[in-house]
Structures are given as structure tokens and as C-alpha cells.
Amino acid sequence: MLEARGLGYVAGQACLLSGVTARFAAGAVTGLIGPNGAGKSTLLRLLAGLEAPTEGQVLCQGVPLSRLPIGERARIMAYLPQDVPPFPPMPVREVASLGRLAHGENAACALHHPAVQQALDMTGLTQFGTREASRLSGGERARLTLARALAVDAPILLADEPVAALDPAQALMVMQVLRGLAAQGRCVVVVIHDLLLATRFCDTLVLLREGELQDLLSPADLTDARVRSIYCVTTRRVENGLVPWGLSSPGEVAD
């Protein structure tokens, strides 16, 4: 559904991404993993069309993203930013309903659209519907940002570290929501640092380092040796999940 072909991005004198080619399938959760500064968020912004690549192109359903009108992009792709902005003194439900702006709905129609209620239900925010969004906790604000993206009801969801500010229960809930979207046939691409959640909930992992694609593999194929070479940590596998376990030295060879 979504494809990166030879993507590169240069900002000033810094090359943030170089020659990245990958496909992101419908009906799957694809995790973008790698150390800080690897280019994960840059890649996600290029996929969303928020930045224009210096080289290469993004294809959406076989069509260059640059050819799609902005309004059509907004209906096809919902983007969840890494940083949660401060919300205005609006009720939670109204903030979530802003996701319907991509469809040109007026405020009254958007507020009562079934996708808005479903988004609040999925993120556990229904009980806060009338509360001012500015009074939410950090984790609740993160979930509201996700609810606003879910309210778009787009076939593609691009999420930048959606579980970073959440406690374990909320993080599991959000990953289950993403898996549920994939089960509906949607394309979900998520930047994630938590290797345990990534290996448990993602179908495919795109491993980046220093702006370059290192691997595109299934979670089962992510080995301890590969993780050591990228992150300088050892791991242990618990059922299907890979758990960071200890620090290792750069260049250390796995047993």
C-alpha cells in the first residue's frame, strides 16, 4: 500500500536518510526501530508527505505521493506526531473530532461522527469526553492525540512513538489497538523503541542506523547478535518477545 523507493533526506549539511527502500503492507503493523538519530522519525515524516525527500520517492497505492492532492493525502493517511502539543481549553471529544476535518465535515457533524466515538472507546477516553483537554495528564494527552488520528478513519496510520509516554497497561492497550487496525486491513507504521513491544506486536521490522536501512525482517529473525551490533545491548527472548537485558561493548561479538 505504501512504498519508499531510494528515499534520502538532507537538512543543511546533515544527511538524515540515505537510499531507504521498503514496502509497508496493508493488514500489517510495521515497526521502525533503531537507535536515537537513526532516521526513524524522518522516514515517517517523508512517508506522510510532511517533508519532501531530497532523493527518491514515496508511492501510495502505486501513485507517487507528490501527485496526490493534500486533501486526499489527509483522508488516506493519519499521522501521529512524536511530540504531544498542548491542547486548547476544549472538551476531549471536540479535540478528537478535529480528526474529521480531513473529510470537510462541519463541527456539529464531526462531533457526533461514529468514528469519533469509536476512537474515544479504543483509547479509553470515553469517560473524559466532556473534560477540558488541557486538564489531562501526559499519558491521557498522548492517548487523545492517538484518538484524533484514529477519528480520521484512514486506511493508513503513521505513528511516531505512540507508547513513549504511557505506563505498561496503556502501552499494551495502544499496541493492541494498532494490531486491531491491521486486522481490519489497514496499513500501520509505527516508530517504536521498546523492543519487547516491537517484537510482540509488529509483523515486520525496519531496522535503521545512521540514516541507512540495515535490515527488513520479521521479529522472529531479529537476533541477539543483530541487536548487539545496533544497540550495544544483549537480549533474552521470552516467548515471542525480545527483551533488552544488559549493556555490551561496541563491536562485541555475540557467542
Strands 55-60, 28-33: pairing is unpaired
Burial (CB < 10 A; 0-12, 13-18, 19+), residue 110, is buried
pLDDT score for 148: 96
Check residue 19 and give left, alpha or beta (phi > 0: left; psi -120 to 50: alpha): left
Query: What grid cell was written down for 249?
Result: 561493548
pTM assigned to the model? 0.94
Nearest Cα neighbor of 155 from 125, 191, 115, 110 is: 115
Report how far residue 154's alpha carbon sits from residue 206's, in angstroms, rounded to the nearest whole number.
22
The alpha carbon dihedral of 95, 66, 42, 206 has a sign of positive
Which residues in the chain show pLDDT less than 50?
254-255
pLDDT score for 239: 87
Strands 156-160, 77-80: pairing is parallel
- Identity of the amino acid at 51: E
Nearest Cα neighbor of 145 from 113, 173, 136 is: 136
Between helix 138-151 and helix 114-122 the angle, nearest 10°, is 140
Report how far residue 28's alpha carbon sits from residue 106's, in angstroms, rounded to the nearest whole number.
32
Report how far residue 33's alpha carbon sits from residue 198's, in angstroms, rounded to the nearest whole number.
8
Could you read off the pLDDT of 234-244 as tens digits, one per residue?
Answer: 999 988 899 99
Helix (H) or strand (E) holding 31: strand 28-33
pLDDT score for 85: 78
pLDDT score for 147: 97
